[in-house]
């Protein structure tokens, strides 16, 4: 069984992002970049399935600029067998990424695609769902447990009311939640081994996909600073302020 694991290069979660002075976006100059944490969980889950004998090959995929090769090498250091970079300087939006992954899935024919539920830079939470729709595969989002058995995936999902368990036939798309696993520490020997693993480089045009942005960012701004709290003498005053000032009731 082959598993495809998309990984995204994002600003490291420990970095406090700064908005550009012109409000056109987030400043990433000289900022530490790393693999999206949810995608790291996806790679770890693919490796655990491989170590359990359920999976034979894990292929990491990234879409974006040349530097995404570093993210793929990290995935291969965790244990992915090879990497594929869809290289483009265009701003990639969720639908474009889903189309690129669909084209790669048609080419690679994986039985399972595991990816993070969302990226911490745009928080879109759309790519997995769009990819499943484009492929016509079943999907299980927000997974906290994945079991492969008898040609199907049994996935425990985190939903608002608690947990939901679904069974879906393979091939399928699964998106990972935080509680699915804890990614392993990448050792230096594995980092060295990853440098020798194959990494294929393709362009969106090679896959026949148009990645032209369909949405335009008008402005990016920092959230307003929170004002200091106040003490109210009684409940009626609190209700009046919530209704007239905060306008939440």
What single DSSP character describes residue 225?
P
Q: What is the pLDDT of residue 66?
A: 93
- Which pLDDT value is given to residue 56? 94
Residue 132 domain boundaries: 2-222
Answer whether residue 214 is part of any domain: yes
At residue 26, the pLDDT reads 83
The CATH number of whichever domain residue 139 belongs to comes to 3.40.50.620
The answer to the question of residue 227 being in a domain is no
Rounded distance between C-alpha atoms, residue 4 and residue 135, angstroms: 14
Spans of the chain, pLDDT less than 50: none
Closest to 8 in 3D by CA, of 108, 146, 120, 114:
120
Q: Does residue 228 fall inside a structural domain?
A: no
What is the number of other CB atoms lying within 10 angstroms of the CB of residue 182?
Answer: 10
pLDDT for res 245: 86
**Residue 29 covered by a domain:** yes
- 24 domain-assigned: yes
The pTM of the full predicted model, rounded to 2 decimals, is 0.85
Domain count, the chain: 1
Whether residue 192 contacts residue 73, with contact meaning beta carbons closer than 8 Å, is answered with no
Q: Is residue 154 assigned to a domain?
A: yes
pLDDT score recorded for residue 205:
92
Mean pLDDT rounded to a whole number for the chain? 92
The reported pLDDT for the residue numbered 76 is 96
Q: Looking at the domain assignment, is residue 200 inside a domain?
A: yes
- What pLDDT score does 230 carry? 85
The residue whose two tokens read 């770890």 is: 44
**DSSP-based three-state secondary structure for 61:** strand
- Note whether residue 229 is domain-resident: no
Per-residue confidence (pLDDT) for residue 16, from 0 to 100: 87
């Amino acid at each position: 069984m082959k598993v495809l694991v998309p990984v995204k290069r994002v600003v490291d979660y420990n970095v406090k992002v700064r908005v550009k002075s012109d409000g056109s976006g987030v400043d990433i100059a000289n900022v530490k970049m790393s693999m999206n944490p949810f995608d790291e969980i996806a790679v770890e889950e693919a490796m655990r399935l491989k170590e359990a004998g359920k999976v034979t090959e894990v292929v990491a995929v990234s879409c974006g600029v040349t530097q995404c090769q570093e993210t793929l090498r990290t995935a291969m250091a965790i244990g992915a067998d090879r990497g594929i970079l869809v290289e483009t300087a265009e701003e990639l939006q969720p639908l474009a990424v889903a189309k690129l992954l669909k084209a790669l899935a048609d080419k690679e024919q994986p039985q399972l695609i595991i990816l993070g539920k969302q990226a911490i830079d745009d928080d879109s939470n759309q790519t997995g769902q769009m990819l499943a729709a484009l492929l016509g595969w079943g999907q299980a989002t927000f997974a906290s447990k994945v079991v492969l058995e008898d040609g199907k995936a049994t996935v425990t999902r985190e939903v608002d009311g608690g947990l939901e368990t679904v069974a879906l036939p393979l091939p399928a798309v699964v998106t990972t939640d935080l509680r699915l696993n804890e990614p392993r520490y990448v050792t230096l020997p594995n980092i060295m081994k990853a440098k020798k693993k194959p990494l294929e480089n393709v362009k969106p045009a090679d896959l026949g996909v148009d990645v032209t942005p369909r949405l335009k960012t008008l402005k990016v701004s920092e959230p307003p600073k929170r004002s200091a709290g106040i003490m109210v003498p009684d409940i009626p005053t609190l209700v009046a302020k919530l209704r007239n000032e905060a306008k939440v009731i």
